Structure 1
């Protein structure tokens, strides 16, 4: 674990897109702010922008900023904004640019000067292509950050969660914990699925986020990974 004098980073990934990574990240930011004065969320790549106050922005990045305890320049907490809601490598190609791990790591390094803890939220799942040869998981490897896995509770989540955990460990990173997020209020045997993952994932369950029609990060409660 990093020295107490250094900024710590935590990487948030998910079993898929649409599983509530941003909501879980915002909840964790609020929890981290109880222990640390300067807590910042980072969305390295946002693909899919919406109009807001005369400009195009990422809703995910805005949610992370709202949950952060300090304000930072937009080009640090969301260095890459791509208009189309596609995989980053495709969205970047449409935008006529190339996104690299080195570019994102440089923004993270600069962001660390503003924070005690940086929570980095990925895009989609673990092995999302960033360009022709790199994946967003390569950024987590470059940062050597512990990983928190957000599991969206729906049919198929057991396979997705277990395979993702295998991939994280195969990449040499620590699975510091996981979050169960009730994204499907009608899911059958949700509690049994949680119990199955508790028995098989080999990492602590940080908490279960209830289904909310309108997610409210301030109402969520999660344990923090050890060391944070």
Structure 2
């Protein structure tokens, strides 16, 4: 199966926004992307259903009509790591449902974009971590990082851990560069690339109009189309 598993150096780095923007660009290029967020927490209850805003955003950006139960098979209300949210609410995280949904979506779509929850070492169920799911799905890893002070350490640790687990790191996307970056924000992408040997596949400018929770993509798709290294990304997909 072709695609990417998108992880982040931390929660809130813009994984959903970047994944959605990539899906939108791939759809425009005729590559029929499927999208998946295997687990989401902090979901909103609407009647008897828990709704994951991240999953709805991904579906809209990809232009797919796959069922929410496939795109996001594990939805939990408490805004915590999935294993903790499930334990506190007396629920069970069904890993087999995630794998079944991944296989089915992969059979429907030409490429898959799978967004993890938080970072690689977030617990999904007991001691089973996001990185364990990434190993099972066996897709190249894209790391979404901040440009800010501290991101060098966070990103290098994420890359190092991914390599320890045998994951193929396709590259890093730095998201949210301000219009007037400071010295740390200007230099961190180059330092990360130099020290890790991993491709920096793009530095996306900050767009204050993006609001995933409200379903507002702002200008992110256009920014991703302009600032990501699409020849490298497409070469990885066409592998």
| Contact 2:26–2:32, Cα closer than 8 Å, also in 1 | no
Q: Measure the CA separation in 2 of the matches of 1:61 and 1:164.
A: 24
| Contact 1:19–1:183, Cα closer than 8 Å, also in 2 | no
**SS of structure 1 residue aligned to 2:86:** helix
| Contact 2:43–2:77, Cα closer than 8 Å, also in 1 | yes
Ranges in structure 2 where 5+ consecutive residues have no aligned partner: 211-217
Whether 2:205 is the aligned partner of 1:210: answer yes
Once the two structures are superposed, the pairs formed by residues 42-191 of structure 1 within 5 Å of their partners are 42-50=36-44, 56-182=50-176, 188-189=182-183, 190-191=185-186
Of 18, 40, 48, the match for 1:24: 18
Q: What is the CA-CA distance between 1:20 and the residue it aligns to?
A: 0.5
Q: 1:223 maps to which residue? A: 229
Q: TM-score, normalised by structure 1?
A: 0.89
**SS of structure 1 residue aligned to 2:143:** strand
Q: Which has the higher helix share?
A: 2
* Per-residue CA distance 1:85-122 (angstroms, 9 max, x = gap): 10111111123222243331121112112211110000
**SS of structure 2 residue aligned to 1:130:** strand
Equivalent pairs counted in the alignment come to 222
Q: TM-score, normalised by structure 2?
A: 0.85
Root-mean-square deviation (CA), in Å? 2.0
Q: 2:34 maps to which residue? A: 40
Answer with 9-18 or 203-212: which moved more: 203-212
Q: Measure the CA separation in 1 of the matches of 2:57 and 2:136.
A: 25
Ranges in structure 1 where 5+ consecutive residues have no aligned partner: 1-6
| Contact 2:3–2:112, Cα closer than 8 Å, also in 1 | yes
* Per-residue CA distance 1:52-111 (angstroms, 9 max, x = gap): 699541111111011113210111111011001101111111232222433311211121
